[in-house]
């Protein structure tokens, strides 16, 4: 028997149950993994509270690392004993063991440990597609990135620095500001004390930025539009503060013919060749030392409720992992 987190209804952290589960042997195209670490991400909260619907009863979690225990037929790229990681569906990564579609699983380079892998896969692949595909950064741009001291944000700080991009980041405390600056953010705005729209305009000499990366959602959406230069792009990739309400398309034209997109990683990794290319770039950035995932919280899997409480209360910084 393995241990896993299951929910039978949507709600607060209290709906998560730590239970015994039987893990089936892999069918063709699947692998069974003994998991060493699981990633904690805000999308897990959306699945738990019902903001993003999933069939119930079900599991939680999209990211983990571990060792392949058995391999189903038709899996040429993995074998028993391989060190692996994944980020993406199906939901259910909060577990000590699980069976996964092999198409979602990548082999880890020798220099990347299990905890680092669990802390970086979903967040690192998110930064990869945001910076390299959704809006291609070539170097020299000035960008705005919200929640710069979170798990995704701190990776973004480092990646932007490596690309030669000037990143303006928003944070909610002085402690988080110090973290973002130390990680490569060029300008940090503490939104508890400063108006981020006014500060972005000051920093850019009134021009605004060509792109805003906004994972906060409702609370920052309109202000993010106001930070964009003419023909700028709004990348709304999350809604930590709530879902962005409907808005008129005239809001884009009145601000200078803006573009907007609402991407998800699952579309960017739907093809195996894309996942391989994205993972290869992430592994290079981490292996070369240009990006160092910062694990600042570790929780036993049995204490997952506490981890969700801390995440939603903004008591976490950097990356968080759960240990089965």
In tens, the pLDDT along 194-245 reads 999 999 999 999 999 999 999 998 999 999 999 999 999 999 998 878 888 9
206: phi then psi, degrees, rounded to nearest 5: 90, -5
What pLDDT does residue 254 have?
Answer: 96
**Sequence-ordered list of residues with C-beta below 8 angstroms from that of 93, at least 6 positions apart, any chain:** 35, 38, 39, 59, 60, 61, 62, 63, 64, 86
What pLDDT does residue 239 have?
Answer: 83
Domain that holds residue 39: 2-121+271-323
**Sequence-ordered list of residues with C-beta below 8 angstroms from that of 94, at least 6 positions apart, any chain:** 4, 5, 16, 38, 44, 59, 60, 61, 301, 304, 322
Asked if residue 173 belongs to a domain, the reply is yes
Whether residue 62 is found in the same domain as residue 169: no
**Would you give the DSSP letter of residue 134?**
I
CA pair distance 110, 83, nearest whole angstrom: 8
Asked if residue 317 belongs to a domain, the reply is yes
Asked if residue 29 belongs to a domain, the reply is yes
CA pair distance 176, 146, nearest whole angstrom: 12
Confidence check: pLDDT of 102 > 90: yes
Say which CATH number the domain at 278 has: 3.90.180.10
- pLDDT tens, position by position, 247-260: 999 999 999 999 99
**Residue in 287, 59, 74 with CA at minimum distance from that of residue 162:** 287
Kindly give the interhelix angle for 42-49 and 304-312, rounded to the nearest 10 degrees: 100
Asked if residue 126 belongs to a domain, the reply is no
Per-chain mean pLDDT for the chain: 95
Map residue 290 onto helix, strand or coil. Answer: coil
């Amino acid at each position: 028997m393995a241990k896993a987190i299951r929910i039978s209804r949507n709600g607060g952290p209290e709906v998560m149950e730590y239970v015994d589960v039987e893990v089936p042997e892999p069918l063709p195209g699947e692998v069974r993994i003994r998991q060493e670490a699981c990633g904690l991400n805000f999308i897990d909260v959306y699945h738990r509270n019902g903001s993003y619907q999933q069939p119930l009863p079900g599991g939680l979690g999209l990211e983990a690392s571990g060792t392949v225990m058995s391999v189903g037929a038709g899996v040429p790229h993995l074998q028993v004993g391989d060190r692996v990681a994944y980020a993406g569906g199906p939901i259910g990564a909060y577990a000590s063991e699980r069976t996964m579609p092999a198409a979602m699983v990548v082999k880890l380079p020798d220099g990347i440990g299990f905890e680092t892998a669990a802390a970086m896969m979903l967040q690192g692949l998110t930064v990869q597609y945001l910076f390299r595909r959704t809006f291609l950064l070539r170097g020299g741009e000035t960008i705005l990135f919200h929640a710069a001291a979170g798990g995704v944000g701190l990776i973004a700080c480092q990646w932007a620095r490596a690309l030669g991009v000037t990143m303006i980041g928003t944070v909610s405390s002085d402690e988080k500001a110090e973290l973002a600056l130390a990680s490569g953010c060029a300008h940090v705005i503490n939104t508890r004390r400063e108006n981020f729209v006014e500060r972005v305009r000051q920093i850019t000499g009134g021009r605004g930025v060509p792109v805003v990366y906004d994972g906060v959602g409702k609370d920052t959406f309109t202000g993010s539009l106001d930070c964009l230069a003419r023909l700028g792009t709004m990348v709304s990739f999350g809604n930590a503060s709530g879902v962005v309400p409907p808005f008129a398309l005239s809001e884009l034209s009145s601000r200078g013919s803006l573009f907007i997109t609402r991407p998800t990683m699952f579309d960017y990794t739907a093809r195996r060749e894309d996942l391989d290319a994205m993972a290869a770039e992430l592994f290079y950035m981490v292996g070369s030392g240009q990006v160092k995932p910062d694990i600042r919280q570790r929780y036993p899997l049995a204490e997952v409720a506490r981890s969700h409480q801390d995440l939603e209360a903004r008591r976490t910084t950097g990356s968080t992992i759960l240990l089965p």
